[in-house]
Amino acid sequence: MGIIVWCVLFAIVIFIAFVATRMAAQNKEDGLHDTGLAIIEFGRAFPNEAIRQLQATVDGQAVFVRLHDNKAGFMRNMSRHFACHLIEPGTVRVLASETGRGLSIEFASASHHNGTYEFASAKEASEVSLWLLGNYVAEQDKELPVPNSSAVNGH
C-alpha cells in the first residue's frame, strides 16, 4: 500500500512540473504582442503620461511608446515583470540594423537595455527612430501655413 501512495505522489509532482513548464513557455511566447497589456503596464508605471502610439518588436519582447509631449517610452519583457522607462530626446543613440528592419539602440540612462530591436518593416523601424530622436511630426500634427491677406487679395 505504501508503494502505491509514493507512486501517486510522484505522478502528481511530475504532472505539476509539466504544467508549470508549459505555462512558463506560454508566457515567454506571449511577450508584449498584446497591446492592451502594454498599455496597462506602461500606464501603471507612468500614470501621468498619455500614450499616442505603440510599436512592438517582431518577437514581442519590447514595445516602444510614443507619448503626447514628444517623448518616447520603452517597455521590455524581463520574464517575470516588465521594465518600463521614459526616454528623453538626446539620451539615446540609434543606428539602423544590418537587416534594415531594425534599430541598434544604446540607452544612455539604461545601458542594460542596449541592443538590436527588429520590427516587421523598415517603415516601423524608421518611425520608432524618429520617436526616440524627438523628431516625429505626424501628418495631422503639421500646421498648414496661413496665407497672408495681401497674397489672397492679390496686392
User: How many angstroms separate the CA atoms of 155 and 153, rounded?
Assistant: 6
Quick check: 52 pLDDT over 50?
A: yes
User: How many angstroms separate the CA atoms of 145 and 122, rounded?
Assistant: 31
Structure confidence at residue 130 (pLDDT): 86
Task: Name residue, grid cell 491677406.
Answer: 149
User: How many angstroms separate the CA atoms of 81 and 27, rounded?
Assistant: 11
Summarised one tens digit per residue, pLDDT across range 105-124 is 988 877 888 889 999 999 99
User: How many angstroms separate the CA atoms of 85 and 71, rounded?
Assistant: 11
User: How many angstroms separate the CA atoms of 18 and 15, rounded?
Assistant: 5
Closest by CA to 89, choosing from 108, 117, 102, is 108
User: How many angstroms separate the CA atoms of 29 and 32, rounded?
Assistant: 9
Pairing of strands 72-77, 102-107: unpaired
Summarised one tens digit per residue, pLDDT across range 71-105 is 889 898 877 778 888 887 678 888 888 888 999 99
